[in-house]
């Protein structure tokens, strides 16, 4: 039986598409949830993936009904910018992944998304940045780290240039996380880049 993945989004959906376009994961994206009319929802519809636009993103029962209908084994937050309701975290404990565009525990927490993250990396003078896949709990960006991709910060980098470099790394890291989860039947720590 295939490993069934639901993906929650709020925006563009490039990580969602990277996941859909990575057949090596051995997983099927069976549902895309969004708290808003995001471009990612349209991309999912165009690919014939079931979608659910949340009427109330704080209503755990609404999430759980949609997740149950989809038969999802795993929930992936791919650019989902709100907190997941605690009842959903409890029901899917250990089965929710988030991708964050920095090397957690640095540059995470409430309000840290998009260009703000990359601006903070540059302001801190960090020599490297990257992306992190971690388990989701009740607090933003706090759950156990499962894997990270590292990229250099280049002299003269702008937040936009760094964001593009990190995003390219995210598009490899997230499929690697889901590949490992599908193979183990649950999210597990994984090596990145994968051993040759």
CB of 39 to ligand GAR, least distance (A): 8
Choose between 71 and 114: whose C-beta lies nearer to ligand GAR.
Answer: 114
CB of 127 to ligand GAR, least distance (A): 20
Long-range contact set of residues 43-46: C-beta below 8 Å, sequence gap at least 24: 43/13, 43/16, 43/17, 44/7, 44/13, 44/16
- Would you call 52 a catalytic residue per the annotation? no
CB of 115 to ligand GAR, least distance (A): 10
CB-based closest residue to ligand GAR: 79
- d(C-alpha 24, C-alpha 181), whole Å: 12
Cα-only R_g, the chain: 16
CB of 137 to ligand GAR, least distance (A): 14
Residues within the interface to ligand GAR (CB under 6 A): 9, 11-15, 40, 78-79, 99-101, 112-114, 117, 167, 170
- d(C-alpha 49, C-alpha 45), whole Å: 6
Spell out the residues 6+ positions from residue 53 whose beta carbon is closer than 8 angstroms to its own: 34, 36, 37, 41
Choose between 58 and 65: whose C-beta lies nearer to ligand GAR.
Answer: 58
Q: How many angstroms separate the first and last alpha carbons of the chain?
A: 28
Catalytic residue (one of 52, 100, 107, 171): 100
Choose between 11 and 85: whose C-beta lies nearer to ligand GAR.
Answer: 11
The catalytic residue positions are 100
């Amino acid at each position: 039986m295939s490993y069934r993945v639901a993906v929650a989004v709020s925006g563009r959906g490039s990580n969602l598409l990277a996941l859909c376009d990575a057949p090596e994961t051995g997983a099927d994206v069976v549902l895309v949830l969004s708290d808003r009319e995001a471009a990612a929802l349209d991309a999912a519809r165009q690919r014939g993936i079931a979608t659910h636009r949340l009427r109330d993103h704080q209503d755990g029962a609404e999430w759980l009904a949609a997740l149950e209908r989809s038969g999802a084994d795993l929930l992936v937050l791919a650019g989902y910018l709100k907190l997941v309701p605690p009842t959903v975290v409890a029901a899917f404990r250990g089965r929710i992944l988030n991708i964050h565009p920095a090397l957690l525990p640095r540059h995470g927490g409430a309000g840290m998304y998009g260009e703000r993250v990359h601006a903070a990396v540059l302001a801190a003078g960090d020599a490297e940045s990257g992306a992190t896949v971690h388990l989701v709990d009740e607090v933003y960006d706090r759950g156990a780290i499962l894997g990270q991709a590292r990229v250099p910060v280049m002299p003269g980098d702008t937040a936009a240039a760094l964001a593009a470099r990190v995003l390219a790394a995210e598009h490899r890291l997230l499929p690697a996380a889901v590949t490992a989860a599908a193979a183990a039947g649950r999210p597990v720590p994984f090596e990145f880049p994968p051993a040759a």
